[in-house]
A = this chain, B = another copy of it.
């Protein structure tokens, strides 16, 4: 595994550094771009890390520019990592639809053609990129939390429930909560993992919640006026959480939609949530 990377940009932000970097990924076989926000505190010591996974069509850039997260991360002394949402490039399979292929990796390791050679975002986000950033930035490997929006909320929840010893805190904004039963999920999981639903079980938050849950508390925010409620299926996850007696907080936020105006509004709460749990 190569740990080399190049710096695309670094901007001072709230006393820290918002950087954008690129490296050659072995997981995806492509160049991958990611962003890291280091709070001022990272000059003195290794700081806790909050992974932020983005949604359909997004790159590393959307949350970095629109989520308003840096100010709270600076105040809390916590780093933010914004990975891309898929491999990209001319040699990478794609689909004309916005919700399949490039920009829509769904945080799985594809086993099916034509996706299998490059679409390995599960491994990338949970193994390869962590190795790179923990070896190169002042980040505390023992204090990791994870969050995300929409498809990224799906990624955050499924990853946290799979590796609860590693991700000590988890939250999500309007996650795709039950992809096995949604048009945001069935198509993609079939394409990437095949038609056998047994292969999907590790990639559906509602199913994982029913089967195993999460050892800590979970925070979910969902807007009541989200234009994608029928695809997100928050009721399935809320039912599974309460049915299991999963500790946590599921908030339906009056009047909010699916946009980054919603994410930004509740970002402070989420960063505080993670900070309290990552110590």
Contacts and interface: CB of A to CB of B under 8 A. Distances in A.
Interface of A: 11-15, 18, 65-66, 68, 70-71, 223, 225, 255-257, 259-262, 264-265, 268
A12 B223 contact: yes
A71 B68 contact: yes
A153 to B, nearest CB: 18
A225 B17 CA distance: 13
Contacts of A18: 261
Q: Specify how many copies of this chain sit in the oligomer.
A: 2
Contact of A12 (B13, B70, B71, B262): B262
Given A11-B257, A256-B12, A257-B12, A71 B264 contact: yes
A11 B262 contact: yes
Contacts of A225: 12
Contact of A260 (B65, B223, B255, B260): B65
B223 A265 contact: no
Nearest to A225: B12
Closest 6 pairs (CB-CB, A-B):
A13-B261, A11-B261, A12-B255, A68-B68, A12-B256, A14-B265
A73 B70 CA distance: 18
A264 B70 contact: yes
10 contacts: A11-B257, A12-B256, A12-B257, A12-B265, A13-B262, A13-B265, A14-B264, A65-B65, A66-B66, A71-B264
A13 B264 contact: yes
A11 to B, nearest CB: 4
A268 to B, nearest CB: 8
